Amino acid sequence: MPSFRYEARDRAGATVTGTITAQNRGHALVLLREQGLAVDALVDARQQARRQTASWGQGPLYPLWPIAVGHVALFFDQLGRLLSAGVTPYEAFTALQERIGGRLRRVAREGAETFSRGGSVSTHLERYPRFFPPHIVAIFRAGERSGQFAEACREIVTQCETEQKTRRFVTLLKLYLAFIGIPAIFIPSFPRIISKSVLFDPNRTTAPATLAEVYEYLRPGLQEYNHHVVHDILPWLLLAYVLVKVAAVVLHLPAMAAVRDRLALYMPIVGMHTRKAAVARFGRVLELMQRAGAPLGDGIREAARATGNTLVAERVTGPAAALDQGGRVSDVLRASGIFSPSQISLLATAEQTGTLEDALAQLAERARADREQFLKGAGLGGCMGTFIIAALITLFAAAAGWQAIYEQIYQVMDSPAWQP
C-alpha cells in the first residue's frame, strides 16, 4: 500500500506534517480530512524519495563494492549515542564527519548541510537507498516517531551484527565449498594424464631412473590435461563467475525488487531464513511503535515496511485494514500467512492479557535466535552434502585413473620385451 507525505493545518491553524498510508491519493485525502486536517500538500512518498535520491553512490553497480555492514553498524552506534545525549541532528552529523570514513563520511557531511536548514534524519537516510535499505530506514523512523533514538539505533546495530555474522558464515561456507569443489572439478580429468602418457616403454627393460625420464613419459598426458583445463574448464568457471556478478547487479535493481523479494521468500532454505528475519524485524519495530503510543494500524504498516521484503509487507498491510474496525493483531497476522501458529498464539494470548509489548519483544528475540540456529543447521547440512558429493567424484576419478594405469601395465607385461 503506498505512503503519502502531507503538509496540513489543524483546526487551530498549526502546520502539521507526516506520513499516511492509503490505497491512493484520494483515499489519503479522505483520511486526513477525517482527522480534521486541511491539506496543503500531498505527495507520493516513494516518488518523492526517488526524486530526492542522492546522485552519487546509488548506481546499479553498487552491489559489486557495497559498504561493509560493520561500517553501517558503527555509523548508527555513534549516531544513537549522540542523539540520545540530546545532541541535535546537525551537531550529530557534524561530529560524525570526524569519526566515520569512506562514503558514509560524505553522507554525514551532506546531512549536516541539510539539518542546518531543518529536516528529519529518516528523510535524509532515504536519499541513500543503496547504503541504508528500507528496513533500516523504517526501524529508525519508528524510533524517531517514538523519541527512542538510542533504542532504534541499537536495534539497527543488532540487525547489522546479525547480518555480518550471516555474511561471515556464508563467506566461510564459500571457502569450504571452493576447497572441496575445485578439486572435484579438476580431479576427474586426471585420468587424461594417464591415458595419454606412455608410462612404460615395451622396448625398455629398465624403469625410468631420473625425473627427466619420468617427465618424458608423462609429457603427452600433461599437455593434454593442460589443454583440457585451459580450453574446457576455465572458460566455464569464468562464465559462471560473470553470471553470478551480473545476477547480483540485476536482482538489486529497483525494478527487480518484486522479483528479488519473491525469490527470497519462496526459494528453499533462503525462504525460511527470510521469514525468520522478517518476523524478527516486524516484532521489534511494532514494539517501538506501541511504546510511542501510535495507532495499532499505523504500527503494523510501519513494522511491515521494516521487514525488508515488499511481498511480506503487502501480505501484512492488506489485512491490517481490519484493525481500524476493531480487529485483532493475531487475526491480521494469521491472514498474512507469514507467521507460524506458535507465534500467532503468543500474540493472541498477549492481546488478552494486555502484554503485547512484552510479547513482541519476546517474538523478535525468538525469531532472531531461530534464524541463527537455522543458519548453523543449513550450513552444516551444506558442508556435509558437498563433502559427500566431492568424495564420490574423487573416488570415481581415482578408480578411472588406476584402471588406466593397470591397462598400461598389462600391455607392457604382455609385450615380448618383458617376457622371460
How confident is the model over 218-267, as pLDDT tens digits? 777 788 888 888 888 889 889 989 998 898 888 888 778 788 888 888 88
Can you give the chain as a three-state secondary structure string?
CCEEEEEEECCCCCEEEEEEECCCHHHHHHHHHHCCCEEEEEEEHHHHHHHCCCCCCCCCCHHHCCCCHHHHHHHHHHHHHHHHCCCCHHHHHHHHHHHCCCHHHHHHHHHHHHHCCCCCHHHHHCCCCCCCCHHHHHHHHHHHHHCCHHHHHHHHHHHHHHHHHHHHHHHHHHHHHHHHHHHHHHHHHCHHHHHHCCCCCCCCCCCCCCHHHHHHHHHHHHHHHHHHHHHHHHHHHHHHHHHHHHHHHHHCCHHHHHHHHHHHHHCCCHHHHHHHHHHHHHHHHHHHHHHCCCCHHHHHHHHHHCCCCHHHHHHHHCHHHHHHHCCCHHHHHHHHCCCCHHHHHHHHHHHHHCCHHHHHHHHHHHHHHHHHHHHHHHHHHHHHHHHHHHHHHHHHHHHHHHHHHHHHHHHHHHCHHHCC
Q: Is the Cβ–Cβ distance between 133 and 118 less than 8 Å? A: no
Q: Strand 38-44's sheet: what is its strand order?
A: 15-21, 3-9, 38-44
Cell of 289: 511503535
Q: Is the Cβ–Cβ distance between 308 and 278 less than 8 Å? A: yes
Contacts 24+ apart (CB under 8 A), 270-275: 272/374, 273/371, 273/374, 273/375, 273/378, 274/309, 274/312, 275/312, 275/338
Q: Look up the pTM and report it.
A: 0.70
pLDDT at res. 209: 64
pLDDT at res. 104: 92
Q: Is the Cβ–Cβ distance between 128 and 57 less than 8 Å? A: yes
pLDDT at res. 323: 72
Q: Choose from 16-20, 68-72, 259-263, 406-410 the range with maximum mean pLDDT.
A: 68-72
pLDDT at res. 239: 94
pLDDT at res. 366: 86
Digit-coded pLDDT (tens) for 349-387: 888 888 888 888 888 888 888 887 887 777 777 777 777
pLDDT at res. 77: 92
